[in-house]
Amino acid sequence: MFSERLKHLIEYLGISITSFEASIGVSKGAIAKPIKNQKTVGVEVLGKILIKYSNVNLEWLVCGVDSMLKDNRDNRQGNIEDHPSENLITITKDEFIELQRKALRQEDRIRELERQVQELGKTN
pLDDT tens figures, 42-52: 888 888 998 99
Element (H, E) at 101: helix 93-123
Domain that residue 39 falls in: 2-123
Per-residue pLDDT, 23: 92
Q: Count how many domains the chain has.
A: 1
d(CA 63, CA 88): 20
Per-residue pLDDT, 88: 53
- Collect all residues with Cβ–Cβ distance below 8 Å to 36 and sequence separation of at least 6: none
Per-residue pLDDT, 83: 44
pLDDT tens figures, 64-109: 888 888 875 444 445 444 444 455 556 777 788 888 888 888 888 9
Per-residue pLDDT, 58: 87
pLDDT tens figures, 6-38: 899 999 889 999 999 999 999 999 999 989 998
Q: How far is CA 75 from the centre of its chain?
A: 15
Across the chain, what does the average pLDDT equal?
A: 82
Per-residue pLDDT, 16: 92
* Residue whose C-alpha is closest to residue 76's, from 6, 33, 2, 15: 15
The pLDDT of 96-124, averaged and rounded, is: 87
**pLDDT(39) > 90:** no
Per-residue pLDDT, 89: 58
Q: How far is CA 43 from CA 27, 58, 83, 92, 110, in A?
A: 15, 12, 23, 11, 23
**pLDDT(119) > 70:** yes
